[in-house]
A and B are shown apart, each in its own frame.
Chain A
Amino acid sequence: MKLLITLTLAFLTPLTAIGQTGDSIEAIKKAGGQVRNVRGGYEVSFNLGKRSLNDQDLAYVAALDSVVVLNLKRTNVSNQNLRHVGEITSLKKLHLELTQIDDTGLQYLSKLDQLNYLNLFGTNVTDESISTLKQLDSLTHLYVWKTKITLQAMETLRESKPDLKIVFGVDLSMIEIPDPNAPTETPKTQLKFITNPNAADAPRSGNGENIEVLFENKSRRKVKLVWVGYDGKLKPYGEIEPGATRIQNSYENNTWLITDTADNALGYFICGDQRALAIIPQ
């Protein structure tokens, strides 16, 4: 009987352990997370779809053996929740970008001595966190764009960790936003619309400078744009809706034939040596 109990216990122990892992994975999935096997352990990700997280969800992650990647991007993870993350000493890569965490949360992570990637982009961390960051011995990649960490503070970190890659990002205030209402430059010259009922009369295209033609369909119907080739063959270039414009790359002396949708010729344009407007009249 004793033997039986011992044997049962001996079998139960590993089973319970497997059961716990399975339970944790199930619980993580239930909370909207994904668990993948990756080299060296698990990748746990909550990043898609702005999941709502609670303390228990992260306790399940901490209970899993060898989680190497944890992605909490764009979640509502709190500073307090990070206590559990600080227990996952196997962690190599941690995504905290676009969360509300700040220095109080980050200090729970100081024991993650295998962590080599830490993404803090868009968080509230400040220069106060530099001392925590200095304790992360394995850190090779650090992302701090849109945080409150200053360049000066980063310099002190760089001095103590010369091999650390720190990505500070661009200063967005330096980027100019173009005015959406600024008028686009209308070409100064206008091509003549040569009306001719017979498409065969449109001359073959000749060669010349590379220019641009701005077609504007002022007629009330949809028209087809056709290029008359150097050999006289017609090549369709699509349609222009009534009222629509089209910027078309072309060459000097090229002939552009306009037809209706039933391929009846309405007229043609011959390009000059500069950028020009070509109006398809009513």
Chain B
Amino acid sequence: MFKVKHTRREILQSTVAAAGLTVPTVLQLQAQATLPINATRCIVIYCWGGISHYESWDPKPEALSELRGEFSTIQTNVSGVRFSEHLPLMSQHADKMAIVRSLFHKQGGHQQGMYHSITGHAPPPGVKALNRTNSPSLAALVGRFQDPNSGTPNAIRVPYNMYDNGTLMAGEYGGWLGSDYDPILMRTPSGKPFSGVSRYTSRELDLKLNLNKDRIVQRQILQLQLERTIGQTTEYDRLDRFRQMAADMLLGSDVREAYDLENEDPRIRAMYGDHIGGQSMLLARRLTEAGVPVVQVCAGAGDLAGGNGENWDTHRDNFKKLKDRLLPIFDRSVSALFTDLEMRGLLEETLVVFLTDFGRTPKINNNAGRDHYPAVYSMAMAGGGIQGGQIYGSSDSNGARPFENPCTPGDFHATALTAMGINPHSELKDQFDRPFQICNGNPLPLF
């Protein structure tokens, strides 16, 4: 299927094996040589809908005009690395990022692609949200390995649940880890919303926090109240009030203080932009800084609604949508996050992971859009011990297939888990004591 029979990773592995060392050992030695600990915090940025690799981190200025699109490219602060021209701020942070340009999987639908990308595992047939046999999301899994007595929630998601035309998506929950590990959804308290449909509230609100023993009684009362509310009324705002109450009752003061963006320096808030896309990134920084191990940000409208609205599913008007709204918000908010994490000295310990459903078709369709394309796409990581300023793998000249070092969502997950100090081949048991290997990929050499 691929032109290159031996990937650089395979060659590296065989050379290293010949020297009597396995790849993980080498990575460990390298890590020891620098800072003594792994990343302790993680921010997952999810581009719901499938961000175009052509118009972001893998532009193809040499491709035929019907493929390359109308954007030009911009030189980044890493020699020889170019991004789309509409990522001018992010291009000055390329030295912090490891871009992987050779990811692929076989899932052409949003639900399936998102599931594979966010859990690292291929979706089961007929996958349904909140099924406890689903695989856990990266955020849920990272949260699972954190100290249960830290007094913060394991994992938080902001600002939206992912939906496709009103259907709640599977993948961003705790799956077989159990409901205790479902990341909690929090609404970003300020910022202009993404246009289109974003369903803020759902009847499956996740309020299962990791609690100390003395709080269990409160938790039981809360659960009872919630179950009653859900059973009796569909009034979203009432449910919201309960959620607020629950948050007040259950979240530690550090987290609550971090949630209040009014506590932030107004100039820092302005740096992120007054859009919910920016304010959500700021919230992610504040929450992780306050001790929450992992925060997942949905960077776009919550419901794809047939590509209608500001999400990455750009079947129609790909260029206009990206140029006018999506890329400027993304560019500014991500760059602000990098700047902010770095100047506080938090980037070393905070792993930033970008995920998306899949790439977009090299061929531009009749609606000036690009369609779903899992055969090759790009994702990225930064901070948390990741060596910035590198490109791993490549796509072919048409951005249609992996050319060098093809890799899977599982490999990408294995890399993120390794950065967090978690052995990707660990086994965990589900509620019925069945063992699961948490990841079936191998870490990429991004350290």
A57 close to chain B: CB less than 8 A: no
In the complex, the answer to whether B267 meets A210 with C-beta atoms within 8 Å is: no
Task: Indicate whether A162 reaches chain B with its CB closer than 8 angstroms.
Answer: no
Give which listed residue, A49, A229, A249, contacts B196 with CB less than 8 A.
A249
Q: Which residues of B contact A269 (CB under 8 A)?
A: none
Contact of A93 among B35, B193, B197, B317 (CB under 8 A): B35
What number of residue pairs across chains A and B have CB atoms under 8 A from each other? Answer: 103
Query: A238 contacts B197, CB within 8 Å?
Result: yes
Contact B343 A116 (CB under 8 A): no
Check B345–A97 contact: CB distance below 8 A. Answer: yes
Q: Say if the beta carbon of B26 comes within 8 Å of chain A.
A: no
Contact between B268 and A172, CB atoms less than 8 A apart? yes
Return the contact of B344 from the options A40, A117, A145 (Cβ within 8 A): A145
Give min CB distance, B309 to chain A, whole Å. 4
Bitwise, A90-112 to B at CB < 8 A (1) or not (0) is: 00110101000000000000000
Whether the Cβ atoms of B344 and A43 lie closer than 8 Å is no
Q: How many residues of A contact B (CB 8 A)?
A: 44
**Which residues 194-245 of A have a CB within 8 angstroms of B?**
210, 212, 227, 229, 235-238
B316 touches A247 (CB 8 A): no
Choose, from A78-86, A150-158, A173-181, A185-193, the stretch at the interface.
A173-181
CB <8 Å contact, A227 and B308: yes
Distance, CA A215 to CA B330, complexed state (A): 25
Of B36, B305, B320, chain A has the most CB atoms within 10 Å of the CB of B36
Cβ contact within 8 Å between B196 and A117: no
Please indicate the chain A residues that have their CB under 8 angstroms from the CB of B290 in the complex: 48
Closest to A227 in B: B308
Q: Could you say which residues of chain A place their CB within 8 Å of the CB of B269?
A: 177
Contact among B151, B192, B345 for A143, CB-based, below 8 A: B345
Taking the closest CB of chain B, its distance from the CB of A240, in whole angstroms, is 12
Chain A hits for B165, CB < 8 A: 235
B343 contacts across to A, CB distance below 8 A: 121, 143, 145, 167-170
**In the complex, A175 Cα to B339 Cα: how many Å?**
13
Tell me whether B305 and A237 are in contact (CB under 8 A).
yes
Q: Is the CB of B308 within 8 A of A175?
A: no
Residue from the list A116, A167, A212 in contact with B345, Cβ < 8 A: A167
| A121 and B345 contact, CB distance less than 8 A | yes
User: Known interface pairs A121-B344, A141-B345, A143-B344. Does A176 touch B254 (Cβ–Cβ under 8 Å)?
Assistant: no
Determine whether the beta carbon of B308 is less than 8 Å from that of A250.
yes
Give Cα A116–Cα B317 distance, bound, in whole angstroms: 49
Which residues of the partner chain B approach A121 to less than 8 Å between Cβ atoms?
Answer: 343-345
- Residues on B with C-beta less than 8 A from A43 are 37
CA gap between A220 and B366 in the complex, in Å: 43
Q: Is A16 interfacial (CB 8 A cutoff)?
A: no
Closest to A180 in B: B274
Q: Does B172 contact A (CB under 8 A)?
A: no
Q: Are B253 and A249 in contact (CB under 8 A)?
A: no
Chain A residues near B199 (CB-CB < 8 A): 238
Within the complex, which residue of B32, B321, B345 is in contact with A40, where a contact is CB–CB below 8 Å? Answer: B32
A interface, CB within 8 angstroms of B = 38-41, 43, 48-49, 68-69, 92-93, 95, 97, 116-117, 119, 121, 140-141, 143, 145, 167-170, 172-173, 175-178, 210, 212, 227, 229, 235-238, 247-251
Q: Closest chain A residue to B339 by CB distance?
A: A170
Residue among A92, A95, A175, A212 facing the most chain B CB atoms (10 A cut-off):
A175
Q: How far is the CA of A280 from the CA of B341 in the complex (A)?
A: 44
Contact A117 B270, CB 8 Å, known A143-B344, A167-B345, A248-B195: no
On whether A39 and B342 interact (CB within 8 A), knowing A175-B271, A238-B199, A248-B196, the answer reads no
Residue from A97, A178, A229 within 8 A of B270 (CB atoms): A178
A38 touches B37 (CB 8 A): yes
Chain B residues near A176 (CB, 8 Å)?
A: 270
- Flag if B195 contacts A117 (CB, 8 Å): no
Which residues of chain B come closer than 8 Å to A210, judged between CB atoms?
Answer: 316-317, 320-321
Is the C-beta of B166 less than 8 angstroms from some C-beta in chain A?
Answer: yes
B126 beta carbon closer than 8 Å to chain A: no
In the complex, which residues of chain A have a beta carbon less than 8 angstroms from the beta carbon of B151?
48
| Top-3 shortest CB links A-B | A169-B343, A249-B195, A119-B345
Q: Tell me if A141 and B348 are in contact (CB < 8 A).
A: yes
For B335-364 the 0/1 string (1 means CB < 8 A from A) is: 000010011110010000000000000000
Q: With a CB–CB cut-off of 8 A, which chain B residues contact A170?
A: 271, 339, 343
Tell me the bound Cα distance from A38 to B339 in angstroms. 27
B319 to chain A, nearest CB (A): 10
Complex Cα–Cα for A117 and B290 (A): 20
Measured in the bound complex, the distance between the Cα atoms of B31 and A92 in whole Å is 13
Q: Is the C-beta of B231 less than 8 angstroms from some C-beta in chain A? A: no
